[in-house]
Structure 1
Amino acid sequence: MKSVAVVLFPEFLLLDVAGPMEVFSIANRFLEPSNCYQISTIGSDELRVRASNGVVLHADVDLNQASGPYDVLLVPGGPSAYKEVYPRLECWLRTVACEVGCLASICTGAFILGQAGLLDGRRVTTHWNYTERLAKRYPQAIVETDQIFVRDGKLLTSGGVTTGIDLALSIVAEDHGKRLALAVAKELLVVMRRQGGQMQFSPLVASVVKEDSPVSRVQNYVLEHVSEEFSVERLASLAGMSTRHFARVFNREVKMTPMEFVQGARIDCARGLLETSGLPLKTVAYRSGFGSVRHMRHLFGERLGLTPSQYRRQFG
């Protein structure tokens, strides 16, 4: 019998807890009693812990009563995971980290592991909206921006919210084989392996501040005229700068090359059209500035891991 423990702290995200727990619970229906997962919850300070949506859970034990070692220890995310500091929880995690079989975080739970010093030198991920923040706060971590979940030794970190289910399914597959994990996935009406990564959910180009600078003026022009043809030379001309100087300034301020920005803007435009219209792919490609469906399909596959048709079926 394997032990699975989930840590609860104030303002945790309930779905981060409920999703993985359901995976292990449903897996138990297919397993012999001696092979079942023993699931428990640990309160960080008190037994009664309120989630971010207001639901109160009663933990089985608190940190003082928790007795490991645990085969799987899960740390969920939540608004407080990246806003607050939990010294007792972080100290406890540092103590038990070397004893657990698998230490895993869901969504922004990675910030709690980072605060405990458990991400240094490790490949990790978190919700796409917080990967940059995680990388800045814990510069010794190697943050992957497009993975559903990342395994680095016995450390597992997952992306946003429902990716905790993907993570738990991968643990079940390792413990009991892919067939059982697939049976659990079918019970939950989810897929065993998603197409593409987190990038398909996140905008490739952030909104541009309406400030009066050459770079922002060029960015706004591209976003408003995305179907036009662009080159670095033309963009530099729009900024009133030399090509070499413009490319250097743009890369420094935007953290990507001018043509990477154009490419991201076109993909985001195409995604919007695929989500909200039934326009033919040829029209979508033209309005987004790709020129051809073939070019659009290539860049979608390269950046999102999906074809435009697959994206439309998933989000349209």
Structure 2
Amino acid sequence: MDVRRVVIVGYEAAELLDIACVTTPLVMANMEGPPPPYEVTLVTPGGRPVTCGTGLTIQAQGALERVTGPLDTLLVSGGIGHGAAAADRGIVAHVRRLARESRRVASVCTGAGVLAATGLLDGRRATTHWGWARTFAVRYPAVRFDPDPIFVRDGSVATAAGVTSALDLTLAFIEEDHGGDVARSVARQLVTYLQRPGNQAQMSMFTAGPPPGDGVVRRVVRHVTDDLAGDLSTATLAERAGVSERHLSRLFLRHLGLTPARYVRRARTEAAAQLLTTTRLPMAAVAARCGFGNTETLRQAFTDRYGVPPSHYRSTQSARSR
């Protein structure tokens, strides 16, 4: 191809950031990288302007129905209009048609629902915005939805999580197409990470939402986050809460979906991730401060949670974000 044709599918009430986090890095890559350049086109049903969920109206550059391949990349945006888009037989049929003529296919956020409606995700692992993963898993049982990763690659199909994860996926595409130097240059222009690891968790328990409603769980959670280096065994936490270990486990599973032990392990791992990217503490000091017995225990927990060892996480995240 003389150009890499990238078609982004929008629709009424699509999310503007889902679109912009793809278009902007690709256009920047054209300024930084070697040929072939990306030719980016936003298409909508009928080629009509669409009003995004935030109220801004954007002009399409083409009609979904009239686009033909071959394409380098087909990407479906998400947004609060995703349900209507997934229920629109015309949109679904044309996305399915174009996917057959594309080197790779992707979605952002709830755009995964549109891809799932086409059957393109059947038998594949996929992700979407954490708030929709459970709903989509029930609605599309043939798809293995994972609510945790920033993005998932399964063969030629990629799915990104909520909103700005589109930036991470697009930078990964640029690195794949043009190499790490071009991707890093684009990331610097955007004042962002090169890219977060695809399997980095979407949500940190420290920012995921309000404290649990149950008073016992709320007190234990507060104690855990305040004293990560302390004795946080289930037996100790249960004694502190004045309940049995079995009852505490039931409460945690009901309100947090995790056992006390798994919650503690996740809290410690996420705290370690924060220290690795914001401080220059030696690995042993990070492990000790976060309650891990040694660096090997930290490494095992970190690899289980993020898919990479802590040393790799620190070298790829902290250095590039400064």
TM bucket by the smaller chain?
0.7 to 0.9
- For 1:210, the equivalent position in structure 2 comes to 213
Q: In 2 relative to 1, CA 191–268 (structure 1 residues): closer, same or farther, beyond 3 Å?
A: closer
Which residue, 18, 21, 24 being the options, matches 2:23? 21
Q: In 2 relative to 1, CA 292–83 (structure 1 residues): closer, same or farther, beyond 3 Å?
A: farther
Q: Equivalent residue of 2:65, what SS? A: coil
Q: In 2 relative to 1, CA 257–77 (structure 1 residues): closer, same or farther, beyond 3 Å?
A: same
Q: In 2 relative to 1, CA 269–40 (structure 1 residues): closer, same or farther, beyond 3 Å?
A: closer
Deviations 1:48-91 (A, max 9, x none): 11112222111122233222332211111212225764412122
- For 1:43, the equivalent position in structure 2 comes to 44
TM-score (norm 2): 0.73
Q: Which deviates the most, 230-239 or 143-152? A: 230-239
Q: Equivalent residue of 2:171, what SS? A: helix
- For 1:151, the equivalent position in structure 2 comes to 153
Distance across 2 between alignment mates of 1:313 and 1:296: 24
TM-score (norm 1): 0.75
- For 1:220, the equivalent position in structure 2 comes to 218
Q: Equivalent residue of 1:199, what SS? A: coil
Task: Tell me how far 1:17 sits from its aligned partner.
Answer: 1.2
1:55 aligns with 2:53: no
- For 1:190, the equivalent position in structure 2 comes to 192
- For 2:111, the equivalent position in structure 1 comes to 109
Aligned residue type for 1:155: V
- For 1:262, the equivalent position in structure 2 comes to 264
Aligned residue type for 1:15: L
The answer on whether the counterparts of 2:128 and 2:162 sit within 8 Å (CA) in structure 1 is: yes
The answer on whether the counterparts of 1:128 and 1:198 sit within 8 Å (CA) in structure 2 is: no
Equivalenced residues, count: 307
Task: Tell me how far 1:109 sits from its aligned partner.
Answer: 1.4
Task: Tell me how far 1:104 sits from its aligned partner.
Answer: 0.7
Aligned residue type for 1:113: L
Distance across 2 between alignment mates of 1:233 and 1:64: 62
Distance across 2 between alignment mates of 1:85 and 1:266: 39
Distance across 2 between alignment mates of 1:265 and 1:19: 30
Q: In 2 relative to 1, CA 154–271 (structure 1 residues): closer, same or farther, beyond 3 Å?
A: closer
- For 1:75, the equivalent position in structure 2 comes to 76
Aligned residue type for 1:120: D
Distance across 1 between alignment mates of 2:173 and 2:223: 47
Task: Tell me how far 1:122 sits from its aligned partner.
Answer: 0.7
Q: Which deviates the most, 136-145 or 107-116? A: 136-145
The CA RMSD over aligned residues, in Å, is 4.2
- For 1:181, the equivalent position in structure 2 comes to 183
Any gaps of 5 or more consecutive residues in structure 1?
none
Task: Tell me how far 1:8 sits from its aligned partner.
Answer: 1.1
Q: In 2 relative to 1, CA 314–108 (structure 1 residues): closer, same or farther, beyond 3 Å?
A: farther
Task: Tell me how far 1:300 sits from its aligned partner.
Answer: 5.8
- For 1:303, the equivalent position in structure 2 comes to 305
Distance across 2 between alignment mates of 1:45 and 1:86: 17
- For 1:93, the equivalent position in structure 2 comes to 95
Aligned residue type for 2:76: V
Distance across 1 between alignment mates of 2:287 and 2:176: 41
Residues 127-146 of structure 1: matches in 2 within 5 Å? Answer: 127-146=129-148
Task: Tell me how far 1:209 sits from its aligned partner.
Answer: 4.5
Q: Equivalent residue of 1:303, what SS? A: helix
Q: Equivalent residue of 1:27, what SS? A: helix
Q: In 2 relative to 1, CA 239–208 (structure 1 residues): closer, same or farther, beyond 3 Å?
A: farther
Q: Percent identity?
A: 32
Task: Tell me how far 1:255 sits from its aligned partner.
Answer: 3.3
Any gaps of 5 or more consecutive residues in structure 2?
none
The answer on whether the counterparts of 2:149 and 2:200 sit within 8 Å (CA) in structure 1 is: yes
Distance across 2 between alignment mates of 1:169 and 1:67: 25
The answer on whether the counterparts of 2:161 and 2:202 sit within 8 Å (CA) in structure 1 is: no
Task: Tell me how far 1:112 sits from its aligned partner.
Answer: 1.7
Distance across 2 between alignment mates of 1:202 and 1:19: 22
